[in-house]
Chain A
Amino acid sequence: MIEVTDISKSFGETQILFDIDAKFTEGQVNLIIGASGQGKSVLTKCIVGLHEVDEGGAVLYDGRDFSAMNRSERIEIRKEIGMLFQGSALFDSLTVEENVAFPLKMFTDMSDAEMRERANFCLNRVDIIDKNSLLPAECSGGMQKRIAIARAIAMNPKYLFCDEPNSGLDPKTSILIDNLIKEITYEYNITTVVITHDMNSVMEIGDHVIFINEGRKWWQGNNEEIIRTDNKQVVEFVYASSFMKNLREKLING
């Protein structure tokens, strides 16, 4: 479980996050939703330590206070983290297989054959077959996301972060990626945190949803509760289009 308490974050004079408390439970897909520029990515970067939280805030990974740790202590936690970036962040100069095997190469004593076997297992898990020698630039956006998921799970992470995993993907591929994230979370009992503003994802995989607005936690619940909530900001965000508004009414009225 990941627990964040009183997280605030400022860049110079500008405060982005205000006293956010949240719990992300293991074996669940935890969603952070909100409009663009509301602080979702900053919150995630604070949780994984790419940004330092302001004084008073804490990030606990299974009770271990990550924000109070030094660099070498953090490295041990980071070996338990997998992350899928918005743009996939695959290493351009490495092949698909080398990308997936990269964390294994850096942090394990596996032989080359064992690394290859593990990389192939992870690639097969995300349905990437016979593409090992391709470079990331030779793969489609959806494939790149799946390869990035394979890399993220290569070290058997306890925590998985996904930053807008569906951005730039068609609806069919988006659902594929969502299902993959959900399956992996349940299969390996991972604490998964997904940042998204894709409502399909919210409905599809949102076991636990946190709504961030103006840098504050505005609402939390699950994908069932979000349909019936009367929280004004959540309703305005989730049901922005008239189509969605009609759909909500039909769902509420049975």
Chain B
Amino acid sequence: MNLFEHIGRYFGMLKSVFSRPEKGKVFRKMFFSEVDSIVINSIPLVAFLSVFMGGVISLQTAANMGSPLLPEYTIGYITRSSTILEFSPTIISLILAGKIGSNIASEVGTMRVTEQIDALEIMGVNSIGYLMFPKILATTLFLPFVVIISMTLCLVGGWIAGVQSGLYSTETYLIGIKAFWYEDQFYLYYALCKTMIFGFLITSIPGYFGYYTKGGSLEVGRSSTSAVVASSVAILVANYILTQLILV
């Protein structure tokens, strides 16, 4: 299949995803289960990565601030801006595309090759909607909360790294964090908007690859790899388009 056929089939699949669930009660239960397994379970990894990411951003910024004309609080300001604009929404989404994406593709792919999806269809269940809608909705709605946690911890990481290295004081860092916030708070809305789009991509694309898996365990592995690659590429392309549309 070529790229355009994949894209066509992907949008065809989305039509079935958003059809009305068979049973609201079952859907709600699955939705909260997916919030737990996809979103809540990702928080420890996100927290760990965010603290170190924030530390590296602030240290690198400090290391590159050679000019005495630049005030020291610029380190905090740059750490905040780059965290909100790019590092938390995009890098965390890329990492989760690997973690969540491979999980979804292999789970759905295994269901396909072991005929569990056929069993759903035979029963009269809309298998695409049943399997994908709760996952997509859970990630799209709740990934922004994970990214807010990531942003906070990134800033904490930056503070710990800088202060313990003696590069700047807590007060200076906090001045930088708060600097120009009134003008820049739009960046936060932009970041959360794009995170929702990324959340949609990192579940729907792996779901697509898993759902259309053919063959056996080897193909499930291939689907999983393709899903991670495709969703990572989609995130980067969407990031560019959204930045162009919203920020520029």
Interface residue from A49, A89, A103 paired with B115 (Cβ < 8 Å): A89
Write out the residue numbers on chain B whose beta carbons fall within 8 Å of the beta carbon of A102. 123
Q: Is the CB of B119 within 8 A of A85?
A: yes
Interface residue from B22, B116, B122 paired with A48 (Cβ < 8 Å): B122
A45: nearest chain-B partner, CB-CB: B118
Stretch at the interface among A60-68, A76-84, A189-197, A230-238: A76-84
Interface centre among B23, B110, B124 (most CB of A within 10 A): B124
* Interface SS, B side: helix
Q: Is the CB of B116 within 8 A of A83?
A: no
Contacts across chains A and B counted by CB atoms under 8 Å: 53
Write out the residue numbers on chain A whose beta carbons fall within 8 Å of the beta carbon of B124. 74-76, 78-79, 106-107
Decide yes or no whether B114 CB sits under 8 A from chain A. yes
If A50-B121, A78-B122, A81-B122 touch, whether A105 touches B116 (CB-CB below 8 Å) is no
Decide yes or no whether B26 CB sits under 8 A from chain A. yes
In Å, the complex CA distance between A74 and B111 comes to 22
Complex interface residues of chain B between 72 and 123 (CB less than 8 A to chain A): 110-111, 114-116, 118-119, 121-123
Write out the residue numbers on chain B whose beta carbons fall within 8 Å of the beta carbon of A79. 123-124
Decide yes or no whether B230 CB sits under 8 A from chain A. no
Q: Is the CB of B119 within 8 A of A83?
A: yes
Can you identify 10 A-B contacts, CB atoms within 8 angstroms? A79-B124, A83-B119, A87-B114, A91-B116, A92-B110, A92-B111, A103-B123, A105-B23, A106-B26, A106-B125
If A105-B26, A106-B22 touch, whether A87 touches B115 (CB-CB below 8 Å) is yes
Q: Which residues of A contact B (CB under 8 A)?
A: 48-50, 74-76, 78-79, 81, 83, 85-87, 89-92, 102-103, 105-107, 155, 161
In Å, the complex CA distance between A155 and B121 comes to 15
| Chain B residues bordering chain A, tally (CB within 8 A) | 15
Write out the residue numbers on chain B whose beta carbons fall within 8 Å of the beta carbon of A75. 124
If A105-B23, A106-B26, A107-B22 touch, whether A89 touches B123 (CB-CB below 8 Å) is no
* Interface SS, A side: mixed
Write out the residue numbers on chain B whose beta carbons fall within 8 Å of the beta carbon of A90. 116
Q: Is the CB of A85 within 8 A of B125?
A: no
If A75-B124, A78-B123, A103-B123 touch, whether A85 touches B22 (CB-CB below 8 Å) is no
A83: nearest chain-B partner, CB-CB: B122
Q: Which residues of B contact A (CB under 8 A)?
A: 22-23, 26, 110-111, 114-116, 118-119, 121-125
The 7 closest A-B pairs by CB, nearest first: A78-B124, A75-B124, A89-B115, A89-B119, A85-B115, A83-B122, A79-B124
If A78-B123, A103-B123, A106-B125 touch, whether A89 touches B116 (CB-CB below 8 Å) is yes
User: Nearest chain B CB to A165's CB is how many angstroms away?
Assistant: 13
User: Nearest chain A CB to B125's CB is how many angstroms away?
Assistant: 6
User: Nearest chain A CB to B217's CB is how many angstroms away?
Assistant: 13
User: Nearest chain B CB to A40's CB is how many angstroms away?
Assistant: 15
In Å, the complex CA distance between A74 and B115 comes to 19
In Å, the complex CA distance between A48 and B26 comes to 25
Interface centre among A75, A81, A86 (most CB of B within 10 A): A75
If A75-B124, A78-B123, A83-B119 touch, whether A89 touches B114 (CB-CB below 8 Å) is yes
Write out the residue numbers on chain A whose beta carbons fall within 8 Å of the beta carbon of B122. 48, 50, 78, 81, 83, 161
User: Nearest chain B CB to A161's CB is how many angstroms away?
Assistant: 8
Write out the residue numbers on chain A whose beta carbons fall within 8 Å of the beta carbon of B115. 85-87, 89
In Å, the complex CA distance between A85 and B115 comes to 7
Given contacts A49-B121, A106-B123, 12 further A-B contacts (CB under 8 A): A50-B118, A50-B121, A79-B124, A85-B118, A90-B116, A91-B119, A92-B116, A102-B123, A105-B23, A106-B124, A107-B123, A155-B123
Write out the residue numbers on chain A whose beta carbons fall within 8 Å of the beta carbon of B23. 105-107
User: Nearest chain B CB to A32's CB is how many angstroms away?
Assistant: 17
Write out the residue numbers on chain B whose beta carbons fall within 8 Å of the beta carbon of A78. 121-124
B19: nearest chain-A partner, CB-CB: A71
In Å, the complex CA distance between A174 and B178 comes to 73
In Å, the complex CA distance between A161 and B119 comes to 11
User: Nearest chain A CB to B56's CB is how many angstroms away?
Assistant: 38
